[in-house]
Structure 1
Amino acid sequence: MPAEIENYVHRIGRTGRCGKTGLATTFINSQQSETMLLDLKHLLQEARQRIPPVLAELNDPMEFGVVRTVTNAADGCAYCGGLGHRISTCPKLEQQRSRQIASLRSRDYFGSGGYRGEM
């Protein structure tokens, strides 16, 4: 498991390309931080994937209205380095996703041929 959740997302994203499906297998151990595991749980929930029992057992204090103070990067968003929110509500990650979606929408998937769109 990579040290940061965005690296994990990048790695598993490489398993399925060009509309193909893929399978990513992740091995975790007792040394994995609970914050990283909670971020992984949130990613799986957002993607509507099956949550493994080991992750389902983890309780996120933020889900139950308990506000934690961020004391270091490990207590908050792994993507932003602990800015007081979880990765599931990360504004930086949401901006990146929006830019990627906009980029995908602006591409010419049918190929106009020629140089710079010229016929």
Structure 2
Amino acid sequence: MNKDIIYKDLDSLLNTLNLIQEEQTVIKRKLSGLLDHVVPNHFIDWAEEIHQQILNREVALQLLRKDIIALKKTIVQKKSIIYFVNNQYVKLIIKYKEQIAYLENEFKLWAKVTAEKFDTIVA
């Protein structure tokens, strides 16, 4: 495993986080637009719940992004490739991949359900 592969791997993880964040921003805009046109209380309650879910996910994304960037900086500072093969770094990368895969899958399910709800409200 060389540095370039590790950098690409970590950059890929960061890109996935960015994509999730961008898609959430789109949903946020849709939600705001919906609230401008629809005001019944049950929609407001639903919108507040969705907004809280977005905020919670944002925190998780930011924390994970911070951890990945810190790992990347640590790897940059190391001179020898031996440090990268160290189980500690490999375990961290695997852990981050698993966390991002979980966030991505959870987000896709959530986005689908949210999109369906938007469709029923607008229809």
TM over 0.5: no
Structure number with greater CO (CA < 8 Å, separation at least 6) is 2
The structure with the largest alpha-carbon Rg is 2
Please, what TM-score do these two structures have when normalized by structure 2? 0.29
More helix by share: 2
Please, what TM-score do these two structures have when normalized by structure 1? 0.30
